[in-house]
Structure 1
Amino acid sequence: MDILESDSRYKKKSLVTVRNTVAKLLPFLTTCCIYFALWIPLSEPSWFSALIKCLPILSLVFFVVIHAVSVEMFSPYARKIFLGLLFSAVGDVCLIWPHFFLHGMVMFGLAHLMYTAAFGLRPLNIRLFILLALFCATFYFVTFPYLNEPFVYMVAGYTVLIGTMTWRALARVSLASYNYSWAHVSAALGAIIFMTSDCVLAVDKFCFPVFNSRAVIMGTYYCAQMLIALSVTGHSRDDLPWKKK
């Protein structure tokens, strides 16, 4: 009977946690709907369109802060995700104007550095590293003939950064019951979807037009950032002082 009561209490607590998380995500979901409803033409760059585009990411910044306040702790992991989201928001603004595209790449590169720092370097998982390195190298060499300076170097550097970020996110995932963390899975899924979004963006910008590219790119981008932001709500052993040996 005690076991049943404990299980019941656990389920109720989990349900409350899910409800609270969804409530905190409402600003993000609302601003995403506003972005896709307004669908401001890309040919009309303005500060208004920049605001509409980056509002969902700013809402995720707000989500991370509200979560930190609710648990009364702004963990090192959450701080790095927070900074990554801020850099992403600035990158979104830069990409509104074509002549600031390189600046946007730099901002997103800094975001990936923050995410990589949050995910850490343990465990290494060398096999996964080799697999992702081969994928990134193949993708770069496929796009290389379409690139002009300075994109030859910028795309190479950016590919390394997002590939490293994805490697570190995936390396943390363990499906063993004693070491399972849905937060790690959420971050890993976010990293994979982020890479997918950027691959579509690169092909559409440098190689050939992709059908309905903007909807695909922005839909996957917002989904990826949401999943990475959600990872701050899980129990992260990376923030525990005794986990390092």
Structure 2
Amino acid sequence: MDIINMDHNSRGGKKMFAEVKSSGPKLVPFAISLGLYFGLWLPVSSPSWFSALLKCLPALCLALFVLARGFSAGRNRPYSRKILVGLLLSFVGDIFLNWADQGFFDHGVLSFGLAHVCYMLALGIRPLVPWLALPLFLASGGTLALLWPCLPSTATAPLAVYTAVLSLMSWRAVARWWRPPHGGERGSPCAVLGAVLFIVSDVMLAQDRFCSPLPHGRLAVMATYYVAQMFIAISVLDQADPDSLWKRN
């Protein structure tokens, strides 16, 4: 049985690579949007609608990628739909965070929290694999505890809730990849990579914003964030209908 599963996973990996390769041209607008954002590198001290457009354009391009590729196969529609909504909520979150210093930081946190809820719903609740949640929550809780003394009182509650939601989404991504549901497909490794990079990006953002500035902090935060979103978007290429995963067993 293990040999059969290994062979199945190997064939699944080759199929995923072929899907990504064939869909590469549809990611060109995303690559161009990244070039514009990092090439122009507008200062965050003077936010404008143009800088907001540059910041949220990559998420919009990934949403268009999901529309163009993820919806092309009927079996992917339910998963793709939730990922699409998550990307659109991230688009809104990027707009809010463009004016984070003008009082819209919490609005951005809420938008991204809702985006992670959509990603979590896409990933499903089966298989549960509860023991995988423990290290993720301990790591997230420990990191939050280290940052806690730096956080302003108004940000502690929103960031605590956001951390919990992000941890839940990461748990579902890892659990789906670690142990596929009975009779179902193994979760996408791209979703796992996206979840992990989201955690890395958000930890660096909190450290850089509230504690002490990181060397090239903005560059590190935005690069890991955009790559995380890219991997989550790419995960639509190899996922079957996840709606039934909430109903199995």
TM-score (normalised: structure 1): 0.87
* Matched residue, 1:173: 177
Q: Following TM superposition, by how much is the alpha carbon of 1:126 offset from its aligned partner in structure 2, in angstroms?
A: 1.6
Tell me the amino acid that sits aligned with residue 132 of structure 1. Answer: L
Q: How does 1:81-230 map to 2 (within 5 A)?
A: 81-97=83-99, 98=101, 99-174=103-178, 181=186, 184-230=188-234
* Matched residue, 1:29: 31
For CA contacts below 8 A with separation 6 or more, give which structure has more relative contact order.
2
* Matched residue, 1:54: 56
CA distance in structure 1 between the partners assigned to 2:36 and 2:191 by the alignment? 25
CA 175–113 in structure 1, closer or farther in 2 if over 3 Å, else same: closer
CA distance in structure 2 between the partners assigned to 1:147 and 1:200 by the alignment? 13
CA contact (8 A) 1:203 1:210 kept: yes
Q: Following TM superposition, by how much is the alpha carbon of 1:240 offset from its aligned partner in structure 2, in angstroms?
A: 6.0
Q: Following TM superposition, by how much is the alpha carbon of 1:153 offset from its aligned partner in structure 2, in angstroms?
A: 0.6
CA distance in structure 2 between the partners assigned to 1:242 and 1:166 by the alignment? 17
3-state SS, counterpart of residue 128 of structure 2: coil
CA distance in structure 1 between the partners assigned to 2:143 and 2:17 by the alignment? 42
CA distance in structure 2 between the partners assigned to 1:74 and 1:236 by the alignment? 5
CA distance in structure 2 between the partners assigned to 1:144 and 1:138 by the alignment? 10
Could you report, residue by residue, the CA deviation over 1:28-71 in whole angstroms, capped at 9, with x for unpaired residues?
01111111000001111000000001101000000011114532
Tell me the amino acid that sits aligned with residue 156 of structure 1. Answer: A
CA contact (8 A) 1:75 1:239 kept: no
CA distance in structure 1 between the partners assigned to 2:70 and 2:137 by the alignment? 35
Tell me the amino acid that sits aligned with residue 237 of structure 2. Answer: T
* Matched residue, 2:40: 38
Could you report, residue by residue, the CA deviation over 1:184-240 in whole angstroms, capped at 9, with x for unpaired residues?
111011000011000000111111111101110010000000000001111425256
Q: Following TM superposition, by how much is the alpha carbon of 1:147 offset from its aligned partner in structure 2, in angstroms?
A: 1.6
Tell me the amino acid that sits aligned with residue 20 of structure 1. Answer: S
* Matched residue, 2:72: 70
CA contact (8 A) 2:198 2:224 kept: yes
CA distance in structure 2 between the partners assigned to 1:17 and 1:39 by the alignment? 32
Higher-Rg member (1/2):
1
Q: Following TM superposition, by how much is the alpha carbon of 1:180 offset from its aligned partner in structure 2, in angstroms?
A: 6.5
CA distance in structure 2 between the partners assigned to 1:56 and 1:210 by the alignment? 24
CA distance in structure 2 between the partners assigned to 1:206 and 1:22 by the alignment? 37
3-state SS, counterpart of residue 172 of structure 1: helix
How large is the RMSD of aligned CA atoms in angstroms? 2.5
* Matched residue, 2:6: none
Structure 1 alignment gaps of length 5 or more: 1-11
Q: Following TM superposition, by how much is the alpha carbon of 1:15 offset from its aligned partner in structure 2, in angstroms?
A: 7.8
CA contact (8 A) 2:19 2:237 kept: no
CA distance in structure 2 between the partners assigned to 1:241 and 1:102 by the alignment? 32
